[in-house]
């Protein structure tokens, strides 16, 4: 009986140790078919592009947590949204674009970068951005479109609760299962993982099946993976917003 009682006492610890997986679905807003994402579990976070034909409507209808998918300048020559943050903009221009984007998706509790392989490498621009997002405003997820991204470091230094993406699920639609298995391995190894996917038909069908049968790993909102961060200048502790 004593052993059984000891086992029951350990159950909360065992549950707490279960690996956690946070899934963000990017690029919501351009197609009315993106509404299919609203059928995913409520722990999935939808990242909505501002100023798109369906973005504001889908954000308002979503049961899931909503983020702002903020366009940022990439490396190379690629088509850009009209409201993309670029290296040529002044601080005032950047602040205006970000404020307008936040106003366009008022349900958003956080931000992640859309593209941005160039802009996220620029520490000054990332510092400007994080000054806007600083508590109590919004959290940040670094999509890590560049290995040289300064976004996560800038966020944490500014006291913005932040995490980074570890796995892109569907950069290659023929490789969904191997990327999913990689995400599960990382969650088991590190205790948590942030996965980003997109509302492709193949991806949504894949996720419907995998999430319905997820075992030994807990699907959580990305907010539950946010760390407590300390503002470097003041020492103020900013709590997890999960």
Q: How far apart are CA 149 and CA 116, in angstroms?
A: 9
pLDDT tens per residue, range 127-175: 999 999 998 899 999 999 999 999 999 999 999 999 999 999 999 999 9
- Nearest to 89, CA basis, from 112, 47, 159, 100: 100
Which two three-digit tokens encode residue 200? 């492709």
Least confident of 8-12, 39-43, 190-194, 197-201: 8-12
Q: How far apart are CA 100 and CA 106, in angstroms?
A: 10
Residue 228: the pLDDT is 74
DSSP state of 235: -
pLDDT at 230 over 70: no
Q: Per the domain annotation, does 11 fall within a domain? A: no
Residue 130: the pLDDT is 99
User: Global pTM?
Assistant: 0.89
pLDDT at 7 over 50: no
Confidence tier at 241 by pLDDT (50, 70, 90):
very low
Per-residue pLDDT, averaged over 178-204, amounts to: 98
Residue 2: the pLDDT is 54
Residue 75: the pLDDT is 98
- What SS3 state is found at 64? coil
Beta pairing class for 45-48 and 20-28: parallel
Q: How many domains does the chain have?
A: 1
Q: How far apart are CA 232 and CA 134, in angstroms?
A: 12
pLDDT at 125 over 50: yes
Q: Per the domain annotation, does 201 fall within a domain? A: yes
On whether the CB atoms of residues 126 and 150 are closer than 8 A, the answer is: yes
Confidence tier at 237 by pLDDT (50, 70, 90):
very low
Q: Per the domain annotation, does 139 fall within a domain? A: yes
Q: Is the peptide bond before 136 cis (omega within 30 degrees of 0)?
A: yes
**Average pLDDT score, the chain:** 92
User: Is the C-alpha dihedral spanning 178, 72, 33, 35 positive or negative?
Assistant: positive
pLDDT at 74 over 50: yes
Q: Per the domain annotation, does 6 fall within a domain? A: no
Q: Per the domain annotation, does 196 fall within a domain? A: yes
- Nearest to 112, CA basis, from 60, 172, 63, 161: 161
pLDDT at 8 over 70: no
Query: What is the extent of the structural domain holding 104?
Result: 19-234
pLDDT tens per residue, range 82-107: 899 999 999 999 999 999 999 999 99
Q: Please measure the distance between the N-terminal and C-terminal CA atoms of the chain and give it in whole angstroms.
A: 37
pLDDT tens per residue, range 12-35: 554 558 999 999 999 999 999 999
Residue 200: the pLDDT is 98
Residue 209: the pLDDT is 98
Q: Per the domain annotation, does 56 fall within a domain? A: yes
Residue 57: the pLDDT is 99
Using CB atoms within 10 Å of the CB of residue 35, give its burial: 0 to 12 exposed, 13 to 18 middle, 19+ buried. middle
Residue 17: the pLDDT is 80
Higher pLDDT, 80 or 15: 80
Tell me the CATH number at 173.
3.20.20.370
Per-residue pLDDT, averaged over 188-216, amounts to: 98
* Alpha helices, H only, the chain: 2-16, 55-61, 91-104, 123-133, 151-157, 176-190, 201-212
Q: How far apart are CA 116 and CA 86, in angstroms?
A: 9
């Amino acid at each position: 009986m004593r052993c059984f009682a000891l086992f029951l006492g350990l159950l909360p610890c065992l549950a707490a140790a279960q690996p956690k997986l946070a899934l963000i679905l990017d690029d919501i807003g351009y197609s009315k078919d993106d509404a299919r994402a609203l059928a995913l579990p409520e722990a999935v976070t939808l990242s909505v592009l501002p100023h798109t034909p369906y973005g504001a409507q889908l954000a308002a209808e979503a049961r899931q947590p909503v983020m702002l998918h903020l366009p940022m300048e990439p490396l190379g020559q690629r088509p850009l949204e009209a409201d993309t943050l670029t290296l040529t903009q002044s601080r005032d221009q950047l602040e205006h674009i970000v404020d307008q984007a936040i106003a366009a998706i008022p349900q958003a509790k956080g931000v992640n970068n859309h593209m941005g392989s160039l802009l996220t490498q620029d520490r000054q621009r990332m510092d400007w951005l994080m000054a806007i997002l600083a508590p109590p405003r919004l959290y940040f997820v670094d999509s890590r479109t560049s290995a040289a991204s300064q976004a996560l470091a800038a966020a944490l230094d500014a006291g913005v609760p932040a995490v980074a993406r570890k796995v892109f699920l569907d950069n290659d639609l023929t490789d969904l299962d191997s990327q999913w298995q990689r995400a599960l391995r990382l969650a088991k190894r590190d205790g948590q993982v942030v996965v980003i996917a997109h509302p492709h038909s193949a991806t949504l069908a894949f996720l419907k099946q995998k999430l319905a049968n997820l075992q030994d790993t807990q699907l959580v909102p990305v907010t539950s993976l946010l760390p407590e961060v300390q503002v470097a200048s003041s020492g103020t502790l900013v709590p997890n917003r999960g």
